[in-house]
Amino acid sequence: MLRSPPPSHSAEQNSSIDQGFDLPWEDGRVDKRYECPICLLVQRNPVQTSCGHRYCRACIYAWIRESPLCPTCNSALGTSKMFTDLIAEREIMSLRVKCSNEGCTQTFELANSESHNEKCLFRLVPCPNGCPNLLRRRSLDNHMANLCLLRVKVCEHCSEEVKAEDLPDHLNKCRELQISCELCGCRVQRSELMSHRESVCAKVIIPCCYSRFGCTERMQRQNLPSHYAACVHEHLQLVSQHVSILESQMRPSVASHRPASARLPQQLSFDSPYVTSDLIDTDPIKTAAPGGTAALLNEASDLAAQLVDAKRTIERLTSTVQQQTQKISSLERKIREIDGRHCNGVFYWQVNNYMDYKQTLLQGSTPVLHSPGFYSSFYGYKMCIRLNPNGIEQGSGTHVSVFLHFMKGENDALLRWPFKGKIVLSILDLISPDGCQQHIVDFLSSKPDLAAFRRPTSNRNHKGFGYLEFAPISVIEKGNYVKDNTLVVKAVIECEDESLIA
């Protein structure tokens, strides 16, 4: 029978001593002979007494400090009467246990418990960066690389090292960060934003450079070229007025320095003996006082230089406007080309201001409309739609004529000619509700013997293929096919063989 030790402070000490093993055993429980009678756990460092009982070393040594009697049989005990039970220790250390870390399903001998725990991926460990999180070892790398607020990150803009939790504040003031100009939307470094607005930003409001001559216009920088081009005469007039004002300011100064000869009566004869050569010379520049002459010459020289600069500025701006206009036209063509490539053989052509062509008919002209070019696929055939709103030949005046024309494309040398396939042309019903629409649809099958389907030799084949009488004009204008003065023509291209020549 186990005796309770005498009252003492041992209860407090037992909480800190190394008692027996309290582990999840593989078999659920362990043989009672391995149980320590003091702590009731599996014996750790088992010690056998002279009376034949076995205890945890820490438990029995703590016991005999308070009582010299065996807790099981009351026999006298002493440290000299106890020895380590190596056989029992070997048996206990060979017992199999389950990993105590939640989520881990491994089992192992008790002897390997510490080594497993040191590398167990499910063990809770503190973050090495010092953040307050406890996490499983298997999540540690991801936490350190992506989640820890105390991990060090390098700003991708300025290469400065900052803690992850401080990165948002750093980005709000990073001078190398690309930010959007609030006016024009351009991306510039924060450190260069002011200089961007002072010299580059297209939407900053600035005065006309002729403001010194009296132009009061203020506009966005991007509108300056068009303003200069539209106001050439006004600017020249302002410069001319400025010159006139300066000339009027010069005349009193010159007149005040004229010699007396300039104010002599006209009837005074130059043959008079009282008139000498120095009185006859009335050139205001020559006769002006020395100081006044220099000032007038300098001011006249400045005016001439200003006029030359103004002329050069106008010429330069005119050239810039022409270049920008050419660039814009080139970009618009490229954009239309890209849009045509991505339609993938299904093209919608919006014919705006359709009813306005009636007026051109009243004036005696026959309008012919061509759609932007489009492709059957990204690397396919290029073509366009031709529309004659008043028809041609036997359809003239009664029907709308619709044709398809092949155009020169970037990949013509790699495509197989003549074109073989089917083409579906439609004029869409834009007003009827879904499910009730009555589109005007017709089909075309390629005829390789016709010139219309051969490889183009000009920008657009002169020969087209389609219908002289595609749809009655009365049906188009009075039906559901024109909405908001817009007609929509649809083309669907189905190629038999669009593979490129290898």
* pLDDT tens track for 16-27: 447 899 899 888
Mean pLDDT of 172-183: 88
- pLDDT, average across residues 103-122: 90
Q: What is the pLDDT of residue 274?
A: 42
Q: What percent of the chain has pLDDT over 90?
A: 34
106 in helix, strand or coil? coil
Q: Quickly state the pLDDT bin for 79 (edges 50, 70, 90).
A: confident
What average pLDDT does range 50-58 have in this prediction? 92
pLDDT of 290 above 50: no
**235-270 residue pLDDT tens:** 888 888 877 787 677 666 555 545 544 444 444 444
Question: Which is higher by pLDDT, 46 or 27?
Answer: 46
Integer Rg of the chain from CA? 51
Residue 399 amino acid letter: H
Higher-scoring residue by pLDDT: 458, 335:
458
Highest mean pLDDT among 124-133, 222-231, 485-494: 485-494
Query: Residue 421's pLDDT band (boundaries 50, 70, 90)?
Result: very high
- pLDDT in the model for residue 256: 56
Summarize the confidence of residues 398-427 as an average pLDDT.
Answer: 93
Give the model's pLDDT for residue 502. 58
What pLDDT is attached to residue 7? 38
Output 275 or 19, whichever has higher pLDDT: 19
Say which residue, 367 or 219, is predicted with more confidence: 219
What are the start-end ranges of the E strands in 8-122? Answer: 46-49, 54-56, 82-84, 96-98, 107-109
| Average pLDDT, rounded, for the chain | 83
Nearest to 419 by CA among 432, 409, 433, 434: 409
Q: How many CB atoms lie within 10 A of CB 223?
A: 15
294-302 mean pLDDT? 75
Instruction: Name the band, by pLDDT with cuts 50, 70 and 90, for residue 49.
Output: very high
Is there a contact between 389 and 450 (Cβ–Cβ < 8 Å)? Answer: no
Distance set, CA 85 to CA 19, 71, 453, 477 (Å):
16, 18, 102, 110
pLDDT at 374: 93
pLDDT at 494 > cutoff 90 = yes
Q: Spell out the residues 6+ positions from residue 95 whose beta carbon is closer than 8 angstroms to its own.
A: 25, 26, 30, 34, 42, 109, 110
Place of tokens 């396919």: 380
Res. 30: pLDDT tops 70 = yes
> Does the pLDDT value for residue 362 go beyond 80?
no
- Rounded average pLDDT over 187-206: 88
pLDDT at 159: 86
Look at 101-110, 117-126, 178-187, 250-259 and tell me which has the smallest mean pLDDT: 250-259
pLDDT at 293: 65
- Judged against a pLDDT cut of 90, whether residue 35 lies above it is answered with yes
Q: What is the pLDDT of residue 3?
A: 42
**Residue 478 pLDDT exceeds 90:** no
> What are 429-446's pLDDT values in tens digits?
999 998 889 999 999 999
pLDDT of residue 251: 65
Strand duo 178-180 + 187-189: pairing: antiparallel
User: What is the C-alpha to C-alpha distance for residues 203 and 224, in angstroms, rounded to an integer?
Assistant: 10
Q: What is residue 132's three-state secondary structure?
A: coil
What pLDDT is stored for residue 252 in this prediction? 65
| Distance between CA atoms of residues 461 and 454, nearest Å | 9
**313 near 218, Cβ under 8 Å?**
no
**Contacts from 239-242 at CB under 8 Å and sequence distance 24+?**
239/210, 239/213, 239/306, 239/307, 239/310, 241/213, 241/214, 242/213, 242/214
Lowest mean pLDDT across 329-333, 352-356, 363-367: 363-367
Q: Are strands 46-49 and 82-84 parallel, antiparallel or unpaired?
A: antiparallel
Average pLDDT over residues 345-367: 81
In the chain, what is the straight-line distance between the N-terminal and C-terminal CA atoms, in Å?
A: 98
| Contacts for 414 with CB less than 8 Å, ≥ 6 apart | 379, 500, 501
Checking if the pLDDT of 74 tops 70, the result is: yes
Whether the per-residue pLDDT at 276 is higher than 80: the answer is no
Separation CA 72–CA 81 (nearest Å): 15
pLDDT of res. 264: 42
Burial class of residue 273, CB neighbours in 10 A (0-12, 13-18, 19+): exposed
At 96, is the pLDDT very low, low, confident or very high (cuts 50, 70, 90)?
very high
pLDDT of 382: 94
Average pLDDT over residues 208-226: 89
- Residue 99 has a CB neighbour count (10 Å cut-off) of 20
Chain CA centroid to CA 380, Å = 30
Q: Is residue 455 predicted with pLDDT exceeding 90?
A: yes
CA angle 204, 208, 209 (to 5 degrees): 115
Rounded-to-integer distance, Cα 125 and Cα 268, Å:
120
- Residue 491: beta bridge partners? 347, 425
Predicted local distance difference test score (pLDDT) of residue 253: 54
What would the 3-class secondary structure string for 410-433 be? CCHHHCCCCCCEEEEEEECCCCCC
Beta bridge partners of 442: 425
